[in-house]
């Protein structure tokens, strides 16, 4: 059964569960935040939903020319999937350079071999549509400036470099975030500025006693191995909580060395 469809976290507590671990992942696509970003126009998709719909065999129509916004794994997966669905031309538009692109060399090379065209230092500024149907992207060329908070060089628009890229389908894949919509609007669970649940780095406990959270739902998108480690940490922390043990969680690797916190 699904949370908030058949029961809620509060229902679980009322039913006698003394502890709940929330590990719902980062299943929501980040918004781009540009004009024309309307999910109900024909030919516009968010990357995660696009891939999910294809995976469960929902009908997904892509046009002859597909534009993908982003530079991560979801962007590359979406581009390659669109090509396999019959698109004749697939362009990825990424606002930074190859050096800043968060994908492995293998993934990048496979996309190029398959026929994906990657346009670096280009930032879409508007999704253009006509009569509620995508017609393309308004874009601006970028140059890289000083390092930003992410440790990568900040993309800066080049004045006068604007251009229009024709497309029948636009797929937005600029990041992932947890979907907190199943939590009641008045939930007491504390959230971070990144719209994840705030947890203790050692125990993964939230600000509500008995409720723990981990994996991408607490940290944002990360590696699978980190999510697995969070599940193990939460299991230990929950067991200690139920026993009334307030000592810190200690985890060790196969060499017997202590593993750091989240």
Which tokens go with 62?
């892509």
**Considering only CA atoms, which of 113, 110, 77, 104 is closest in space to residue 92?**
77
Mean pLDDT of the chain: 90
3 has a pLDDT exceeding 60: no
pLDDT at 255 over 80: no
The strand pairing partners of 170, in sequence order, are 44, 67
Residues 6+ apart with CB under 8 A from 11: none
pLDDT for the residue 125: 97
Query: pLDDT tens across 193-213, in order?
Result: 878 889 999 999 999 999 999
| Tens-digit pLDDT profile for residues 43-75 | 999 999 999 999 999 999 999 999 999 999 999
Please check whether the domain covering 28-176 is classified as CATH 3.50.50.60: yes
DSSP 3-state percent helix, strand, coil across the chain (nearest 5): 25, 30, 45
Quick one: tokens of 28?
A: 């929501």
Instruction: Tell me the range of 14-23, 155-164, 218-227 where mean pLDDT is highest.
Output: 155-164
| Position 40 pLDDT exceeds 80 | yes
Domain with CATH 3.50.50.60 in the chain: 9-26+178-259, 28-176
Structure confidence at residue 181 (pLDDT): 77
**pLDDT tens for residues 16-30?**
899 999 888 888 888
User: What digits encode the pLDDT tens for the residues 89-145?
Assistant: 999 999 999 999 989 999 999 999 999 999 999 999 999 999 999 999 999 999 999
* Selection from 218, 229, 236 nearest residue 261 by Cα: 229
pLDDT for 24? 84
Fold entry, domain 9-26+178-259: FAD/NAD(P)-binding domain (3.50.50)
What are the backbone dihedrals phi and psi of residue 68, each rounded to the nearest 5 degrees, phi first? Answer: -115, 130
Alpha helices by DSSP H, listed for the chain, are 9-14, 47-55, 73-84, 105-114, 216-219, 224-243
pLDDT at 2 over 70: no
Burial class for 86, CB neighbours closer than 10 Å (0-12, 13-18, 19+): exposed
pLDDT at 222: 80
């Amino acid at each position: 059964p699904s949370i908030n469809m058949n029961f809620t976290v509060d229902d679980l507590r009322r039913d006698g569960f003394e502890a709940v671990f929330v590990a719902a992942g980062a299943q929501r696509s980040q918004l781009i935040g540009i004009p024309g970003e309307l999910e109900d126009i024909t030919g516009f998709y968010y990357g995660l939903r696009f891939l999910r719909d294809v995976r469960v065999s929902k009908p997904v129509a892509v046009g002859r020319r597909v534009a993908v916004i982003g530079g991560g794994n979801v962007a590359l997966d979406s581009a390659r999937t669109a090509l396999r669905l019959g698109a004749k031309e697939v362009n990825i538009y990424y606002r930074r350079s190859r050096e800043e692109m968060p994908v492995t060399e293998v993934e990048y090379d496979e996309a190029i071999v398959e026929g994906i065209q990657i346009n670096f230092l280009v930032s879409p500024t508007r999704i253009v549509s006509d009569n509620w149907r995508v017609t393309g992207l308004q874009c601006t060329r970028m140059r890289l400036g000083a390092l930003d908070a992410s440790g990568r060089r900040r993309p800066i628009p080049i004045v006068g470099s604007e251009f229009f890229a024709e497309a029948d389908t636009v797929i937005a894949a600029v990041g992932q975030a947890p979907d907190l919509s199943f939590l009641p609007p008045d939930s007491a669970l504390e959230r971070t500025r990144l719209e994840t649940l705030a947890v203790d780095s050692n125990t993964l406990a939230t600000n509500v006693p008995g409720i723990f959270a981990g994996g991408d739902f607490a940290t944002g998108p990360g590696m699978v191995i980190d999510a697995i480690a969070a599940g193990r940490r939460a299991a230990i922390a929950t067991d200690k909580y139920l026993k009334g043990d307030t000592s810190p969680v200690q985890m060790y690797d196969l060499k017997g060395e202590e593993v750091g916190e989240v």
